Chains A and B, each alone.
Chain A
Amino acid sequence: MLRTLLCDLLAIDVPIVLAPFGPWDEVALAAEISDAGALGSVGTAVRSVDELKIQWDQLRSRTDRPFAVNHTGRPFDDAAFAATLAARPAAISFHMGIPAELITRAHDAGIIWLQTVGDVQQAEQALAAGADVLVAQGTEAAGNAGWVATSVLVPAVVDIAGDVPVVAAGGIGDGRGIAAALTLGADGASLGTRFLATTEMAIAQEWKQRIVSASAADAVKVANSERVMPPFTLAQVGRPFAPRALCNPPCRPARG
């Protein structure tokens, strides 16, 4: 049996987190993952509050196990956040920004805060802001992520985290990666890309097939992504995150 203190904190059975996928519908997947004993996540990007409430009702109709609702600072949606607080999920995960005031509001609502960090400076700020869990996300990760490799970032964050659990994210594609994360000192692992290639994930079959046939070299940091991505509306700490994706022309990989 695989169990860490992350399981005790989140009331889950195994220390595995389904990464949030922003605007893409992952309700069915999150329900299965949570019901099976891990922590499912749903994103909130570009969804109206009414749409989000429908998603959360659907999720709660499928499982009574904990799940996390993700918000980001790219852009931050205060109405969606307020609705999330009212919905009282077990956890809120946050990406791109370390909003101390929002963490306080979540805690006032009895909600656990999972803060994604991409370097030690962000981790220090997240700890000072009261984050309950640090998600140390390496540059290998899909979507918006930082610039430090998971194998370096995780132990560096563990070294300063004290009693705060650390979840490793980025570049974890199978159980060996989860084992490696635990060996690096993490208390759990978050997986994104691996879970995209599931029956339940509501993305195009074409994307799933591209995932199955792609190599690591195909998943690149996208150059000039700010031209198509929403702007950051919360202050960023250090170098802002940038997206990693399978490059479709006219997409070009970033240099360096």
Chain B
Amino acid sequence: MRGGRGEDLLPFTGQSVELVHDVVPARQLLARLVQEAEAALRKASGYLT
């Protein structure tokens, strides 16, 4: 763990791994997450009549 190789034994990873398809810069990812969230919320609000 101290040597930064704890992942040799236990690479902590969650079930959301199913949705991870790329390795990207953090700022780019954050912007994408916000855009995706906004789009999903707008789509959901469109269901209201």
Residues of B within 8 A of A204 (CB): 5, 7
- A173–B26 CB distance below 8 A: no
The answer to whether B13 and A196 touch across the interface, beta carbons within 8 angstroms, is yes
* Contact (Cβ within 8 A) B10 A222: yes
A227 to chain B, nearest CB (A): 10
Q: For chain B residues 1-49, which have a beta carbon within 8 Å of chain A?
A: 1-2, 4-27, 29-41, 44
B44 touches A29 (CB 8 A): no
Chain A: interface residue total (CB-CB under 8 A): 71
Separation of A173 and B32 alpha carbons in the complex (Å): 12
Task: Name the contact of A179 in the complex, choosing from B10, B17, B19, B37 (C-beta under 8 A).
Answer: B37
A2–B34 CB distance below 8 A? yes
CB distance from A107 to the nearest CB of B (A): 29
Contact A176 B7 (CB under 8 A): no
Beta-carbon contacts under 8 Å, A190-210 to B: 191-204, 207-210
A174 touches B33 (CB 8 A): yes
Closest residue of A by beta carbon distance from B2? A46
B11 touches A210 (CB 8 A): yes
Question: Least Cβ distance of A102 to chain B in Å?
Answer: 23
List chain A residues, Cβ under 8 A from B9: 228, 248, 251
Residue contact B2 to A193, C-beta cutoff 8 Å: no
Complex partner residue of A198 from B7, B25, B31, B36, CB under 8 angstroms = B25
In the complex, A246 has a CB within 8 A of chain B = yes
Q: Which residue of B lies closest to A23 (CB)?
A: B1
* Shortest Cβ gap from B24 to chain A (Å): 6
In the complex, which of the residues B10, B21, B40, B44 contacts A245, with contact meaning CB atoms closer than 8 Å?
B10
Assess A212 versus B2: contact at CB under 8 Å? Given A219-B13, A244-B15.
no
Tell me if A151 is interfacial: C-beta within 8 Å of chain B. Answer: no
Question: Considering only CB atoms, which chain A residue lies closest to B11 in the complex?
Answer: A246
Complex Cα distance A24/B8, Å? 12
Q: Which residues 175-193 of A have a CB within 8 angstroms of B?
A: 175-180, 182-183, 191-193
Contacting residues, chain B, for A178 (C-beta < 8 A): 33, 36-37, 40
A131 CB, min distance to chain B CBs, angstroms:
23
Q: Interface 1/0s, chain A 150-178, versus B by CB < 8 A?
A: 00000000000000000000111111111
Give the 8 A-B CB pairs with smallest separation, nearest first: A175-B36, A173-B19, A173-B16, A142-B14, A179-B40, A175-B37, A216-B18, A143-B12
Q: Besides the contacts A2-B34, A142-B14, A248-B11, what 14 more A-B pairs have beta carbons closer than 8 Å?
A: A1-B38, A23-B6, A24-B4, A33-B26, A140-B14, A140-B16, A171-B15, A171-B16, A176-B40, A191-B33, A199-B26, A204-B7, A210-B11, A218-B13
